């Protein structure tokens, strides 16, 4: 038997080329119904067979005297209709054959449309798969390049710090008079050297932290971190400089504990408070609030994460950040105003580092700001489990 006729393995032939088979295109039920209706209408026996003479549907038993009409489709005989009528009426057989030919025509058209559609889908799937593969390769190359960059930065920063500590150390020795008394002008110069060296050390430290954070891919030291004490110590280190400008730092800190790397969490809070104090207007309040909240803000990303975290919220009443700039605020070295470095100092690494640390903890950092009114930065961290039912505390 021809394997193609028997519905041989798909792919062995071009589906557009496959032979027209009555049994494949017209389901048994459709043929049975047709045959039944015809036999009842004309009170006769009807038998439909395929091109090999196998019976596909029948109503009653046709005798050898039955009139046989071929079913023709696309110039081929694809089957036959046998009608047993007494007296014989060949037109009934032709009519029936015609109806089947029409049904076949429609079914075949649907099948061809389906095949073409499938082919179109298969080719776009293949195209997408190829694109995906090349994207994956590109991502791999980028990752490798990124690792090289991070290693380079880490090594460079380390190498730069060593001589810098000597510059700072010797400057301090000069100021302390260890090499003899300094004239006022000399003292001025050494102070400038010391100031600039400190600035450079800060930059190098930030760059080193950044490259470490990017390379680490997670948090190393995880422990409960009491937020009240952490915020206290950060606020204390800004109090003198804030007081000089009449800025109050208000703490609204719940007795909660974060679960993470204390040094990193402190750095995040430090960076946010540093910005708030730097950018808030003279004589205004900076508020540092810590409370319980979802680890990932509601509505961010496709997978809502309902794990409980703590939110560190830092509010200021400063210049604010415009919508355009908000999109870039967490990028390394981004500063809204390049003259900001001159006016306020800083390197543009504070928020990028904060984001890297927060995300290493599985948390998020975001900002809400109105230009001219102020900004609210929120960083979320995992929390030590707490019982949120009223009247209970951990
Ligand atoms: N609280 C804030 N109010 C207004 N602008 C801010 C605030 N925090 C950050 N910015 C803007 O984002 C920039 C990047 O901040 P950051 O990464 O901390 O760098 P840096 O403080 O060294 O400039 C700042 O230069 C400033 O333009
Ligand atoms: Mg900063």
Confidence label for 6 from pLDDT (cuts 50, 70 and 90): very low
What total number of domains does the chain contain? 2
Ligand 1 within 6 A of 347 CB?
Answer: yes
Provide φ and ψ at 307, rounded to 5°: -60, 145
Give the model's pLDDT for residue 365.
95
The reply to whether 244 falls in a domain is yes
Residue whose CA is at the smallest distance from ligand 1 atom 27:
336
Residue 214 beta carbon below 6 angstroms from any ligand 1 atom: no
User: Is pLDDT above 70 for 43?
Assistant: yes
Q: Which residues surround ligand 2, an ion (CB under 5 A)?
A: 275, 346, 350
Ligand nearest to the CA of 338: 1
- Whether residue 256 contacts residue 386, with contact meaning beta carbons closer than 8 Å, is answered with yes
- Structural domain of 24: 15-128
Residues 6+ apart with CB under 8 A from 231: 251, 253, 269, 288, 290, 312
Residue pair 260/300 in contact (Cβ under 8 Å)? The answer is no
The answer to whether position 203 is within a domain reads no
CA 268 – ligand 2 centroid, Å? 10
Sheet holding 248-253, edge to edge: 248-253, 285-294, 308-315, 374-382, 365-370
The 10s digit of each residue's pLDDT in 169-186 is: 999 999 999 999 999 999
For the domain that residue 264 is a member of, what is the CATH number? 3.30.565.10
- For residue 40, is it within any domain? yes
For ligand 1, say whether the CB of 260 is within 6 Å of any of its atoms. Answer: no
Average predicted confidence (pLDDT) for the chain: 87
Q: Looking at the domain assignment, is residue 369 inside a domain?
A: yes
Kind and range of the H or E element at 123? helix 90-175
**Is 378 found in the same domain as 233?**
yes
Ligand 1 centroid to residue 347 C-alpha, Å: 9
Quickly state the pLDDT bin for 392 (edges 50, 70, 90).
Answer: low
Non-local (6+) Cβ contacts of 19 within 8 A are 4, 5
350 CA → ligand 2 middle, Å? 4
Alpha carbons within 13 angstroms on the beta-carbon side of residue 256 total 25
Whichever domain contains 123, its CATH number is 3.30.450
Q: What pLDDT, on a 0 to 100 scale, did the predictor assign at position 134?
A: 96
CB 254 within 8 A of CB 292: yes
If asked whether residues 228 and 114 sit together in one domain, one would say no
Structure tokens at 3: 């394997």
Say whether pLDDT at 261 is over 90.
Answer: yes
pLDDT tens, residue by residue, 78-119:
999 999 888 888 888 899 999 999 999 999 999 999 999 999
DSSP lists the bridge partners of residue 224 as 259
Q: What is the pLDDT of residues 132-156, one digit of tens each?
A: 999 999 999 999 998 888 788 888 8
Q: Is 284 in the pocket of ligand 1 (CB under 6 A)?
A: no
User: What pLDDT does 138 receive?
Assistant: 96
318 lines ligand 1 (CB under 6 A): yes
- Other CB atoms within a 10 A radius of the CB of residue 14 amount to 9
- Would you say residue 158 has pLDDT above 90? no
Is 121 a domain residue?
Answer: yes
Q: Where are the beta strands (DSSP E) in the chain?
A: 45-50, 55-59, 67-73, 76-84, 223-226, 248-253, 257-260, 285-294, 308-315, 365-370, 374-382
Quick one: 111 and 234 in the same domain? no
* pLDDT of amino acid 14: 74
Regarding whether 224 and 116 lie in a shared domain, the answer is: no
311 or 345, which is more confident: 311
Same domain, 238 and 358: yes
Kindly give the distance from the C-alpha atom of residue 324 to the centroid of ligand 1, in angstroms, as a whole number: 14
**Nearest of 56, 136, 150, 68 to residue 104 by alpha carbon:** 56
Choose the weakest-confidence range: 165-174, 175-184, 290-299, 368-377: 290-299
Same domain, 108 and 226: no
Residue where a domain terminates, one of 128, 153, 183: 128
Q: Say yes or no: 366 and 250 in one domain.
A: yes
Q: Which two tokens stand for residue 14?
A: 């071009």
DSSP-derived 3-state class of residue 45: strand
Residues 6+ positions from 154 with CB-CB distance below 8 Å: 208, 211, 212, 215
pLDDT digits (tens, 9 = 90+) for 223-253: 999 999 999 999 999 999 999 999 999 999 9
Tell which atom from ligand 1 comes closest to the C-alpha of 274. 21
Is the pLDDT confidence value at 377 over 70? Answer: yes
Minimum-distance ligand 1 atom for the alpha carbon of 334: 14
Residue with tokens 């000597």: 166
Whether the CB-CB separation of 35 and 49 falls below 8 Å is answered with no
Q: Which atom of ligand 1 is nearest to the CA of 348?
A: 19
What is the average pLDDT across 335-353?
74
Q: Does 202 fall in a domain?
A: no
Query: From ligand 1's centre to the CA of 348, what distance in Å?
Result: 7
Rounded to the nearest whole angstrom, what is the distance from the C-alpha of residue 264 to the centroid of ligand 2?
A: 15
Same domain, 110 and 224: no
Give the Å distances, CA to CA, from 276 to 69, 85, 325, 347.
93, 99, 16, 15
Say yes or no: CB of residue 268 within 6 Å of ligand 1: no
Residue 277, pLDDT score? 96
Of the listed ligands, the closest to the CA of 349 is 1
**Atom of ligand 1 minimally distant from the CA of 318:** 3
Domain identity same for 114 and 260: no
- Say if residue 231 is in the same domain as residue 124: no
* Spacing, Cα 99 to ligand 2 middle (Å): 82
Looking at the domain assignment, is residue 140 inside a domain?
no
Decide if pLDDT at 3 tops 50: no
Instruction: Give residue 284's Cα distance to chain centre.
Output: 39
Confidence of residue 366 (pLDDT cuts 50, 70, 90): very high
Domain boundary among 89, 108, 128: 128
Distance of CA 35 to the CA centre of its chain: 58
Instruction: Give the Å distance between the CA of 158 and the centre of ligand 1.
Output: 26
Separation CA 163–CA 201 (nearest Å):
10
**Residue 3 included in any domain:** no
The pLDDT, as a whole number, for residue 393 is 47
CA distance 34 to 41: 11
| Contact residues for 136 (Cβ-Cβ < 8 A; gap 6+) | none
* Ligand 1 contact, 275 CB (< 6 A): yes
End of a domain among 75, 103, 128?
Answer: 128
What pLDDT does residue 239 have? 94
């Amino acid at each position: 038997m021809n394997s193609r006729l028997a519905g041989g393995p798909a792919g062995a032939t071009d589906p557009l080329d496959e032979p027209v088979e009555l049994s494949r295109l017209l389901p048994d039920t459709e043929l049975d119904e047709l045959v039944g209706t015809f036999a009842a209408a004309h009170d006769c026996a009807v038998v439909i067979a395929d091109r090999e003479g196998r019976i596909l549907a029948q109503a009653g038993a046709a005798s050898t005297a039955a009139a046989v009409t071929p079913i023709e489709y696309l110039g081929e005989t694809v089957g036959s209709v046998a009608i047993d009528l007494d007296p014989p009426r060949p037109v009934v057989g032709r009519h029936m054959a015609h109806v089947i030919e029409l049904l076949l025509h429609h079914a075949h058209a649907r099948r061809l449309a389906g095949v073409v559609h499938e082919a179109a889908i298969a080719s776009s799937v293949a195209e997408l798969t190829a694109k995906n593969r090349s994207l994956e390769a590109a991502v791999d190359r980028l990752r490798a390049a990124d690792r090289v960059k991070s290693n380079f930065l880490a090594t460079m920063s380390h190498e730069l710090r060593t001589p810098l500590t000597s510059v700072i150390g010797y400057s301090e020795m000069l100021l302390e008079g260890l090499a003899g008394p300094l004239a006022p002008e000399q003292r001025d110069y050494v102070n400038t050297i010391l100031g600039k060296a400190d600035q450079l050390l800060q930059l190098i430290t930030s760059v080193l932290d950044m490259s470490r954070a990017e390379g680490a891919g997670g948090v190393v030291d995880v422990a409960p971190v009491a937020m009240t004490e952490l915020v206290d110590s950060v606020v204390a280190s800004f109090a003198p400089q804030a007081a000089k400008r009449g800025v109050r730092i208000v703490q609204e800190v719940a007795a909660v504990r974060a679960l993470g790397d204390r040094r990193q969490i402190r750095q995040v809070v430090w960076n946010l408070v540093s910005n708030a104090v730097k950018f808030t207007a003279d004589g205004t309040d900076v508020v540092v609030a810590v409370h319980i909240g979802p680890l990932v803000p509601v509505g961010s990303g496709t997978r809502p994460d309902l794990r409980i975290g703590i939110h560190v919220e830092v509010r200021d009443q400063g210049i604010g950040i415009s919508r355009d700039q908000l999109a870039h605020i967490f990028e390394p070295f981004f500063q809204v105003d390049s003259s900001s470095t001159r006016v306020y100092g800083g390197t543009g690494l504070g928020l990028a580092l904060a984001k890297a640390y927060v995300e290493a903890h599985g948390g998020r950092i975001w900002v809400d700001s109105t230009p001219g009114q102020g900004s609210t930065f929120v960083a979320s961290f995992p929390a030590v489990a707490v019982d949120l039912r009223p009247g209970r505390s951990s």
